[in-house]
Chains A and B, each alone.
Chain A
Amino acid sequence: MSLTDLTIHELHERLVRREVSSVEATRAYLERIAAVDERINAFITVDAEGALRQAEAADRRLAAGKGGALTGIPLALKDIFVTEGVRTTCASKILQNFIPPYDGAAAARLKEAGAVLLGKLNMDEFAMGSSNENSAFGAVKNPWNLQCVPGGSSGGSAAAVAARQAAATLGTDTGGSIRQPAAHCGVVGLKPTYGRVSRYGVIAYASSLDQVGPMTRDVEDCALLLQAVAGHDPADSTSVDTPVPDYRAALGGDLKGVRVGLPREYFIEGLDSDVKEAVMGAITVCRELGAEIVEVSLPHTEYAVACYYLVATAEASSNLARYDGVRYGLRVDEGKGLLDMYMKSRAAGFGAEVKRRIMLGTYALSSGYYDAYYLKAQKVRTLIRRDFLEAFEKADVLLTPVAPTTAFGLGEKTADPLQMYLSDIFTIPVNLAGSCALSLPCGFTPSGLPVGLQLVGRPFGEETILRTAHAYEQATDWHRRVAPI
């Protein structure tokens, strides 16, 4: 077994026993990246020098017996996380040469924990997309089938885990951007409750929905990585000051007494038969593990996608206003005045999908349209949140598919944005509700593409979904399959 096949917890044991050094593990990953990334395109920036320096420091810490769960573990970050001295592009031309002067909360916490940061991962530009085809640095390929998309927007983060290019990664999820690519790449991805993880240093797409989360090989790794980044941050006013439980301690045991809710509105026509079959199989496994299966209703589900594309784009139109060519980033200045510089810089710097969403959001906030669009969407959002709270009176965990289909072909949906938006139909409502949800593998199609299972928890109910996912995972072996790359 290669070093790069180890989970975080497996590698950690070898590191603390000094059977292997962090430098060796880091070299192994750097070699793996060099070997496969030409085909996957998961990385935008590889920081080999920085990673090896961090690995050496981690080895000293481990040798002194002071290593924690992540000390010396080679990880990588979606290129939406601001990293001091390491180029951070958000997969956009407008930031293609931006080197931040500061570390965001995620990078700072991981560095503090002694993790090794291999580099920055490809994504849809400004996290806008469901296929990772909207990147100024090229599309990411799915490690299970190079003709397929890895999902998005954290496509690089998912593909890198699946292709063994990092022990685990961090992504962000605004409408499914962790869970959907995790499902398409056969890895575990968790979107924590809004406010659980600091957004400081995460380049904003839609501030009221964005949340940071782990993408890992298994559920235990997911708990470990969440542990490292969760918690109150005074630098993020929306981060919640509520105690962080021991997530790993929550793992173990069966599902006796756990009420698993199936939202009626999520098992509808149009659901891919392979997906349906795999999810049904997962329900059976849960029942066998002792779970009580109940039906619940989330009646406002059908409005979620529309609501999301108003709220998210409205916020994005404002969040992306700072990319104006004045202080940093791309500037196209032909000496024809300020307005011309603004327009040319933004025209050249942003990709088509980003422009589309800025226009949508600007429209939704415009005088005369605000009430009909933005305000109405906020009201719908309240109804959707209420749906979930009511469902959680009957169930402890909701079980749903992650996406209506498995990974689709490259270029298959790029011509039809609406079709693309529907990829996130099962994940978006959770962001609108502010709840937490996890995606983990629950089967494969006959052609070998992974299928994802979504477990949705109450706000700050990460322990429950992790425990449920862990019980399911222990009873199955989907997570042991390795992508054929």
Chain B
Amino acid sequence: MNSKYEIVIGLEVHVQLTTASKIFCGCSTRFGASPNSQTCPVCLGLPGALPVLNRRAVEMAIMAGLATRCTIAERSVFARKNYFYPDLPKGYQISQFELPVCVHGRLEIETEGGGKKSVGITRIHMEEDAGKLLHPDSPAAGSVSYVDLNRACTPLLEVVSEPDMRSSDEAVAYLKKLHQIVVYLGVCDGNMEEGSFRCDANVSIRPWGQKEFGTRAEIKNVNSFRFVKQAIDYEVERQAELIEEGGKVVQETRLFDPNTGMTRSMRGKEEAHDYRYFPDPDLVPLVISPEWVEQVRLGLPELPEAKIERFVGEYALPRYDAEVLSADRALADYFEAAVAAGANPKAGSNWVMGEVTRALNAEGIDIERSPVSPQMLAGMLRRIDDGTISGKIAKTVFDEMWKSGKEADAIIEEKGLKQVTDTGAIEAVIDEILAANPGQVEEYRSGKEKVFGFFVGQVMKASKGKANPAAVNELLKKKLNM
């Protein structure tokens, strides 16, 4: 990376909201339906149709604003962004321009060195998405394109950051943080492949110490964390080389190509649209009362940072555990449900981070679909605690629960996995083992205590793992030291 220049990055992120219906009509927002099946006069832009704002979308905007410490505007205004494109049925997009719903927020990110940094959020505004153009590949179709308006009028938030990031890593950290928050809030499904969370990056460089920003390029279409890093790194190199060669960076929109890892010019400043924004006369100004904001605030879910602190305090978890569990709201909820059902917190954490996560990954499913419920897990952990099964047998029980969906108790009963705590029975096994291995007994008694482990193993093996390890230890010691 070129060290002569300071890198300046600002991000614009489009967050698709998870409302059941579109932002200005009642059509479903479900992804993947057959083309134009989720449309009506409003989202088709038919003559005479009028938009009506979805209240739930506003609530989600307020949630996102509160979670990023924005000021929620008491009065914001929807504006029309005018341009022609076949995926834009009205010839304008309803967005917000001069008066957005949220302003002046910030997001804390962790920097490479482990330090913290606050990235400013200029504004969050609400808008409708456009439709999609389908370009058939077959030569028979010629130059025909098709328009699918299912996505048209889907609610989006555009989150605009200040140009506060100074490296591609910071940009990625900011994006990941924002992603985590909107998914946590439940306002976005976070699916970057389906375009639910998309990013444009504004990148410029300047010599260290220079106050003014350099000329920026806006990079479109960077739709994964990895691509954001790639695109910014490429763009910084390109701009630095340009300047080194005595050239000038021009203000333009560039497109990132994930196949080559490069950006290429899409349109220059001169070709930039004049969007002729003006307040949409079909919609009245959006008025959000302080009471409404408070009501939404009360309903906000706990955010990751607060959750980590609480897990450390309330459940005495190591910070590492708290962070891993809190990274995903569903995982944290699962853990807490298991604890609520009686699981020991640390044991619960170990199992959720360990076996449960492993099993989920192996099958590639989300924790919401786990065949072992938190209650089932807690039921099993109780049986470890009360000595019914050992930790080792528990793994067998867990696998069986996963496969069959049966409760731990039923599996223990069915498969006879109950731990043997009957000292008489264990003593009998020990006596047999000691009798069969006189050489090792001699070794132990002459001071080679390492052999002890061998005896434990033999006893456990003979009991098929069901002997209570503590009892085995104690009895073995007693007998060997006799």
Interface of A with B (CB < 8 Å)? 81-82, 88, 90, 95, 98, 100-102, 104, 199-204, 206-208, 234-238, 314-315, 317-318, 320-322, 324, 326-328, 335, 338, 342, 362, 365-367, 370, 374
Q: Distance (Å) between the CB of A199 and the closest chain B CB?
A: 6
B41→A321 contact, CB < 8 A: no
| Residues in A neighbouring B90, C-beta threshold 8 A | 321-322
Q: Is B105 an interface residue (CB 8 A)?
A: no
B47→A101 contact, CB < 8 A: no
A234→B52 contact, CB < 8 A: yes
Interface of B with A (CB < 8 Å)? 41, 44-53, 80, 82, 84, 86, 89-92, 143, 147, 274, 276-278, 281-284
A327→B45 contact, CB < 8 A: yes
Q: Distance (Å) between the CB of B423 and the closest chain A CB?
A: 77
| Residues in B neighbouring A90, C-beta threshold 8 A | 47
B47→A322 contact, CB < 8 A: yes
A322→B41 contact, CB < 8 A: no
B80→A338 contact, CB < 8 A: no
Q: Distance (Å) between the CB of A337 and the closest chain B CB?
A: 9
| Residues in A neighbouring B89, C-beta threshold 8 A | 322, 326-327
Which of A98, A104, A324 has a CB less than 8 Å from the CB of B84? A324
In this complex, the member of A204, A322, A365 whose beta carbon has the largest number of chain B beta carbons within 10 angstroms is A322
- Write the chain B residue with the least CB distance to A320: B91
| Residues in B neighbouring A204, C-beta threshold 8 A | 47-48, 282
Q: Distance (Å) between the CB of B56 and the closest chain A CB?
A: 15
A237→B276 contact, CB < 8 A: no
Q: Is the interface of A mostly helix, strand, loop or mixed?
A: loop
A338→B86 contact, CB < 8 A: yes
Which of A203, A326, A365 has a CB less than 8 Å from the CB of B278? A365
B47→A203 contact, CB < 8 A: yes
In this complex, the member of B45, B82, B91 whose beta carbon has the largest number of chain A beta carbons within 10 angstroms is B91
A328→B46 contact, CB < 8 A: yes
- Write the chain B residue with the least CB distance to A92: B47
Contacts A318-B276, A321-B90, A366-B276 given; does A235 touch B52 at CB 8 Å: yes
| Residues in A neighbouring B143, C-beta threshold 8 A | 335
| Residues in A neighbouring B51, C-beta threshold 8 A | 237
Q: Distance (Å) between the CB of A312 and the closest chain B CB?
A: 10
Give Cα A362 to B274, complex, Å: 10
Give Cα A426 to B89, complex, Å: 36
Give Cα A383 to B47, complex, Å: 32
B276→A365 contact, CB < 8 A: yes
- Write the chain B residue with the least CB distance to A102: B41
A318→B82 contact, CB < 8 A: yes
Q: Distance (Å) between the CB of B127 and the closest chain A CB?
A: 15
A314→B48 contact, CB < 8 A: no
Give Cα A202 to B47, complex, Å: 8
| Residues in B neighbouring A326, C-beta threshold 8 A | 86, 89, 147
| Residues in B neighbouring A317, C-beta threshold 8 A | 82, 276
Nearest 8 A-B pairs (CB), nearest first?
A321-B91, A208-B281, A207-B281, A365-B276, A82-B48, A201-B48, A203-B47, A367-B274
| Residues in A neighbouring B284, C-beta threshold 8 A | 237-238
- Write the chain B residue with the least CB distance to A363: B276
9 contacting pairs across A/B (C-beta < 8 A): A104-B48, A200-B50, A237-B51, A238-B281, A314-B278, A321-B84, A321-B92, A338-B86, A374-B278
- Write the chain A residue with the least CB distance to B26: A235
| A-B pair number, CB within 8 angstroms | 98
Q: Distance (Å) between the CB of A176 and the closest chain B CB?
A: 19
A237→B53 contact, CB < 8 A: yes
Give Cα A207 to B284, complex, Å: 12
Contacts A314-B278, A322-B90 given; does A101 touch B84 at CB 8 Å: no
| Residues in B neighbouring A235, C-beta threshold 8 A | 50, 52
| Residues in A neighbouring B48, C-beta threshold 8 A | 81-82, 100, 104, 200-204
A318→B47 contact, CB < 8 A: no
* 6 other A-B residue contacts (CB within 8 Å) besides A238-B283, A315-B281, A321-B92: A101-B46, A321-B84, A322-B45, A322-B90, A365-B277, A367-B274
Q: Is the interface of B mostly helix, strand, loop or mixed?
A: loop
Q: Distance (Å) between the CB of B79 and the closest chain A CB?
A: 10
B44→A327 contact, CB < 8 A: yes
| Residues in B neighbouring A102, C-beta threshold 8 A | 41, 46, 49
Give Cα A201 to B80, complex, Å: 20
| Residues in B neighbouring A207, C-beta threshold 8 A | 281-282
A100→B92 contact, CB < 8 A: no
B52→A237 contact, CB < 8 A: yes
A237→B282 contact, CB < 8 A: yes
| Residues in B neighbouring A362, C-beta threshold 8 A | 276
Give Cα A101 to B46, complex, Å: 9
Contacts A237-B284, A321-B82, A370-B278 given; does A98 touch B47 at CB 8 Å: yes
In this complex, the member of B89, B92, B278, B284 whose beta carbon has the largest number of chain A beta carbons within 10 angstroms is B278
Contacts A202-B48, A236-B50, A324-B91 given; does A342 touch B282 at CB 8 Å: no
Q: Distance (Å) between the CB of B88 and the closest chain A CB?
A: 9
Give Cα A253 to B80, complex, Å: 48
A95→B47 contact, CB < 8 A: yes
| Residues in A neighbouring B274, C-beta threshold 8 A | 366-367
| Residues in A neighbouring B49, C-beta threshold 8 A | 102, 200-201
| Residues in A neighbouring B50, C-beta threshold 8 A | 199-200, 235-237
| Residues in B neighbouring A208, C-beta threshold 8 A | 281
Contacts A88-B47, A199-B50 given; does A367 touch B91 at CB 8 Å: no
Give Cα A90 to B276, complex, Å: 25
B82→A365 contact, CB < 8 A: yes
Which of A98, A238, A365 has a CB less than 8 Å from the CB of B282? A238
Give Cα A202 to B50, complex, Å: 9
| Residues in B neighbouring A203, C-beta threshold 8 A | 47-48
Q: Distance (Å) between the CB of A340 and the closest chain B CB?
A: 12
| Residues in B neighbouring A100, C-beta threshold 8 A | 41, 46-48
In this complex, the member of A208, A324, A328, A370 whose beta carbon has the largest number of chain B beta carbons within 10 angstroms is A324
Give Cα A200 to B45, complex, Å: 12
Q: Distance (Å) between the CB of B87 and the closest chain A CB?
A: 9
- Write the chain A residue with the least CB distance to B274: A367
Give Cα A335 to B46, complex, Å: 25
| Residues in A neighbouring B45, C-beta threshold 8 A | 322, 327
Give Cα A235 to B25, complex, Å: 9
Give Cα A277 to B276, complex, Å: 46
Which of A101, A314, A335, A342 has a CB less than 8 Å from the CB of B41? A101
B92→A237 contact, CB < 8 A: no
In this complex, the member of B47, B86, B90, B276 whose beta carbon has the largest number of chain A beta carbons within 10 angstroms is B47
Give Cα A291 to B480, complex, Å: 122
| Residues in A neighbouring B53, C-beta threshold 8 A | 237
- Write the chain B residue with the least CB distance to A367: B274
Give Cα A1 to B48, complex, Å: 39
Give Cα A102 to B283, complex, Å: 21
Q: Distance (Å) between the CB of B82 and the closest chain A CB?
A: 5
- Write the chain A residue with the least CB distance to B24: A237
- Write the chain B residue with the least CB distance to A208: B281
| Residues in A neighbouring B278, C-beta threshold 8 A | 314-315, 318, 365, 370, 374
Give Cα A41 to B283, complex, Å: 36
Q: Distance (Å) between the CB of B165 and the closest chain A CB?
A: 29
Which of B44, B46, B91 has a CB less than 8 Å from the CB of A318? B91
| Residues in B neighbouring A374, C-beta threshold 8 A | 278
- Write the chain A residue with the least CB distance to B275: A367
In this complex, the member of B45, B48, B147 whose beta carbon has the largest number of chain A beta carbons within 10 angstroms is B48
- Write the chain B residue with the least CB distance to A337: B143
A318→B147 contact, CB < 8 A: no
